[in-house]
Amino acid sequence: MRSRLLPPRFTGGLHDARTATAIGRWLGPAFAVCFVTGLISHFLQHPPRWPADGIPSRPVWGYRLTQGLHVASGIAAIPLLMAKLWAVYPRLFTWPPVRSVWHGLERLSVALLVAGAVFEVATGLLNTAQWYPWPFSFVPVHYAVAWLVTGALILHIAVKAPQIRDHWSRRSPGTLALPAADGPDRRSLLTAVAAATGAVTLTTVGQSFTPLKDLALLAPRSPDHGPQGLPVNRTAAAAAVGTIPPEQYRLTVTGPRSFTLTLDELRALPQHEARLPIACVEGWSRTAHWTGVRVADLLERVNAPAHARVRVVSLQTRGGYRVSELGREHAHDPLTLLALTLNGGELTPDHGYPVRLIAPNRPGALQTKWVGRLEVLS
């Protein structure tokens, strides 16, 4: 008779290395894509000093692609992670829990991996809903834990390499006395996991891949929803800028030959068009039609050196996104505009009235709204 203190015994045939490997084959790539695209995003938003000028301003959809992949792979990882944890959870009850120092360390690294992975997908998902029910700042913590998870994942794959090799393909014999062939149960489980992953992807990816926007039932945002056919992340009211009186507006450009323009003077300069997306870090993207003044023209007028970088400063007085910088490539790209119109109409206050920055291949967070000053940095 089993003592009450003994851990439960699992007889189901699917809690085995073969199932874990089969799911890991999808989960691993999802995590890899998520990590690499996350690094790209972090680098673009917080470029280290030296390569900042080398950040290319093309292709115009570059950031939209990497950010869309980041969110899509992160969301796809949720059902995969749940299935993986279901497949392996009986190991929580392994007896004795620790057999050796090495075994203890290995279990500790798996605990870190599981905790970190759950933390990353949970915080990432809530970020797409812009809901921050925690006391820390999302970006630095999500970024730091990503490194921890990736390190623990590489270690985990190295430790499990023999089992992974044994169970990698359908034909692998399986040296661990497990059923070699994939029975109907395992096939059903894997089909269900694939269907769930496909379903959450199809019903959310439309928030940045707009051809599928009508299917995006589970996405927190619709790319269609918002004034002038474009979503808004922070409204003019939330940013405490309200509606800026046009006669009071001034654009100041500081550099070797600083100058100030009124809104009418800005409107009288040559206007250019651009079709560029806003690709928001919180998971949505949408292309729009913009017109306005080229930043490059303003740089010429202020007599900026050819390699100049530019700081873009908002009239908003507080908040994380009130200042951004344009590296050399972006500052001189003919598509980088101080936009005055959006989709054929004057900007609404929520989209940055009277003037906002729009530039190609750039995180949405850096498309500064309510611009009041450009500063040439040498």
Ligand X SMILES: Nc1nc2c(c(=O)[nH]1)N[C@H]1C(S)=C(S)[C@@H](COP(=O)(O)O)O[C@H]1N2
> Residue 233 interacts with Mo ion (CB under 5 A)?
yes
Total number of residues that touch ligand X (CB under 6 A) = 21
Task: Identify what 208 binds: ligand X, Mo ion, none; CB under 5 to 8 Å per kind.
Answer: none
Rounded to a whole number of angstroms, the minimum distance from the CB of residue 134 to ligand X is 19
Q: Among 15, 42, 107, 234, which residue sits at the site for ligand X (rule: CB under 6 A)?
A: 234
> Residue 280 interacts with ligand X (CB under 6 A)?
yes
When the beta carbons of 26 and 321 are compared against ligand X, the nearer one is: 321
Rounded to a whole number of angstroms, the minimum distance from the CB of residue 126 to Mo ion is 15
By CB under 6 A, the residues from 302 to 321 that bind ligand X are 314, 316, 319, 321
When the beta carbons of 207 and 367 are compared against ligand X, the nearer one is: 367
> Residue 370 interacts with ligand X (CB under 6 A)?
yes
Rounded to a whole number of angstroms, the minimum distance from the CB of residue 27 to Mo ion is 27
Q: Among 367, 372, 374, 375, which residue sits at the site for ligand X (rule: CB under 6 A)?
A: 367
CB 336 within 8 A of CB 295: yes
> Residue 230 interacts with Mo ion (CB under 5 A)?
no
When the beta carbons of 137 and 188 are compared against ligand X, the nearer one is: 137
Rounded to a whole number of angstroms, the minimum distance from the CB of residue 323 to ligand X is 8
Helix (H) or strand (E) segment spanning residue 75: helix 62-88
Task: Identify what 140 binds: Mo ion, ligand X, none; CB under 5 to 8 Å per kind.
Answer: none
Within a 10 A sphere around the Cβ of 257, how many other Cβ atoms? 11
CB 206 within 8 A of CB 216: yes
In the shown chain, the binding pattern of residues 319 to 338 toward ligand X, with x for contact by CB under 6 A and - for none, equals x-xx----------------
Task: Identify what 231 binds: Mo ion, ligand X, none; CB under 5 to 8 Å per kind.
Answer: ligand X
- The structure tokens listed for 228 are 């002038």
Residue nearest ligand X, Cβ-based: 364
Helix (H) or strand (E) segment spanning residue 251: strand 250-254
By CB under 6 A, the residues from 342 to 361 that bind ligand X are 351-352
What Cα–Cα distance (Å) separates residue 262 from each residue in 29, 257, 280, 338?
52, 17, 30, 14
What Cα–Cα distance (Å) separates residue 301 from each residue in 104, 264, 292, 293, 297?
66, 17, 16, 12, 6
CB 373 within 8 A of CB 335: no
> Residue 278 interacts with ligand X (CB under 6 A)?
yes
> Residue 125 interacts with Mo ion (CB under 5 A)?
no
- The structure tokens listed for 257 are 């030959």
Per the omega criterion (within 30 degrees of 0), is the bond before 184 cis? no
Q: How many CA atoms lie within 13 A of 333 on its CB side?
A: 26
Q: Among 17, 149, 200, 230, which residue sits at the site for ligand X (rule: CB under 6 A)?
A: 230
Q: Round to whole Å and give the CA distance between 370 and 355.
A: 5
- Written as one string, the DSSP assignment of 172-219 is ---SSSS-SS--HHHHHHHHHHHHHHHHHHHTTGGGTSGGGGGG-TT-
Q: Round to whole Å and give the CA distance between 320 and 297.
A: 28
Residue 97's SS3 state is coil
Rounded to a whole number of angstroms, the minimum distance from the CB of residue 153 to ligand X is 29
Of the candidate spans 171-179, 230-238, 241-249, 266-274, the one that interacts with Mo ion by CB under 5 A turns out to be: 230-238
Q: How many CA atoms lie within 13 A of 268 on its CB side?
A: 5
Of the candidate spans 41-49, 104-112, 272-280, 304-312, the one that interacts with Mo ion by CB under 5 A turns out to be: 272-280
> Residue 364 interacts with Mo ion (CB under 5 A)?
yes
Positions touching Mo ion (CB under 5 A) are: 233, 280-281, 364-365
Positions touching ligand X (CB under 6 A) are: 230-234, 239, 278, 280, 314, 316, 319, 321-322, 351-352, 364-365, 367-370
